[in-house]
Amino acid sequence: MAPLVFFGLLAGGVRAQDAPLRVDVDYASFAYDEALSLVEIYIGVEAPSLYFEAVEPEGFAALLPLRLDLVRNAGPEAGAGPEAGAASAAPAWADSTVLRFALPDTAGMHSGHYFTHQIRAAVAPGEYVLRLAASDASDRPELQLRQSLAVDRFELDGAAAISDITLATGIAPNAQRENVFFKNGLLVHPSPNRLFGEGLPRMYYYAETYGAGEVASAQGQYMAYAYVADADRSNPLPGMERRLERAARSPDILVGSFDTGALPTGSYALHMALFNDRNEGVFERSRKFFVYNPDVSREDPAALELDFETSSYAAMTEEEVEQGLAHARLIANDTERRRIRRLPDLDARRRFLMDFWQKRDDRPMTPLNEFKDAFYSRIQYANDRYTSTMEPGWQSDRGRVVVTYGLPSDIDPHLYDQATVPYEIWQYNNVPGYGQSIFVFADMNGFGRFELLHSSVPGERSLPNWQSALYRR
């Protein structure tokens, strides 16, 4: 079996006996031959979620059997999820392996420990569903994951194109062809969770270009452009762009990195584009990633714009205003909520939002509204962690609690107790005004939607006999 590599990444994790197995999956596809494309499947496993046993002389080891297959996605049935159409199809590719992870000692293991692995498959271009099943020596149920994959067709001598982008924790020249991460003279260590920032500030990227001769200048050069932008925008962030003059060859390898250490917590996208000799963009590819930097504040020039007419609030669209009001209701007091309902027109709503955030800026002489910045960092966290097909993360019960009260001091998960439905107990050391508090969330219907069952905070849902409600009927 190919060797596995151990990296320290930022990722949540708890002791194996208390939590489910936590696995992240990502992928990228590249040119292979005239009929097939090469798919690289990136697998990340949080070390604290593994079941380790003592072995000699290494210390501790965990075995993780994996089954994977790719099934053509024939399209979902009405009302079904994106994988429904592939549920009964025969796999176009399948593989099974046993991953082995070793540590000299588990005493120092923490939530930042992360193992990565990579598996390659050559398949015909098309829409697929990746099905992954994993189990270990513990008594936890088998983990099953499904993810949609779009495998493009690439032609070395066809129109100019860019492969999928691999986001990585490190890329370095190396001749170890037997290494599972070896590719074109490089070791490319993927980041399956695509999370960077604190503890891992530098984000590396790998991509391939094809058909560059179609856009090359008379001197045989073409332009490749890479830049980082906010996830919901297309303009590059200051200092986060690279332009490269490249000799036209097919394939060509594009490798680089960006320092994410100064980016505020949030979602971003890496964009890569090809330009012709007339400086016209002819092909673009992007990859979303996430940054967690709790000590970096997001600049908010609007905090100093005391004149409404020249403020950014005055230019907000109706959709932006309604979204902003929906967010504000999470932390608004009763008087403010009643006022929101009575606002007569769009302009009044805009003025309300400006006043709402300025009143909460406890450091008005700084160029930032630290309170608003922290609030929207929690919104982004909730969206990234709890978004589902049913609702955005901030509207879920767990997301709303995070946005309203911040991250819990401790989470006590009970996801595989046989007698009860899956549930979590969130403990807060200090909710302002209420002190130590708890929130109990439960998946009452078995669909993965955790609803608030009970809280000790006044005004939240309270169910005195919540323990009895958890037992399966």
For 438-453, what is each residue's pLDDT tens digit?
A: 999 999 888 888 999 9
Angle at 298 between CA 363 and CA 289, to 5 degrees: 155
For 129-158, what is each residue's pLDDT tens digit?
A: 999 998 887 777 788 888 888 999 998 888
The answer to whether residues 29 and 117 belong to one domain is yes
For 311-360, what is each residue's pLDDT tens digit?
A: 788 888 999 999 999 999 999 988 888 899 999 899 999 999 988 988 88
Among 104, 95, 93, which residue's Cα sits nearest to residue 55?
104
State mean pLDDT over 75-81. 40
For 192-224, what is each residue's pLDDT tens digit?
A: 999 999 889 999 999 999 988 887 877 888 889
Q: How far apart are CA 233 and CA 346, in angstroms?
A: 24
Q: How far apart are CA 345 and CA 72, in angstroms?
A: 50
The answer to whether residues 160 and 221 belong to one domain is yes
- Domain with residue 165: its CATH number is 2.60.40.2550
Q: Which domain holds residue 194?
A: 154-294
The answer to whether residues 171 and 284 belong to one domain is yes
**Report field, pTM of the whole predicted structure over 0.85:** no
The answer to whether residues 245 and 278 belong to one domain is yes
**Boundary residue ending a domain (152, 172, 200):** 152
How many domains does the structure of the chain reveal?
4
Phi and psi dihedrals of 171, rounded to 5?
Answer: -140, 130
Q: Three-state DSSP class for 302?
A: helix
Q: How far apart are CA 205 and CA 135, in angstroms?
A: 31
pLDDT tier for residue 83 given thresholds of 50, 70 and 90: very low
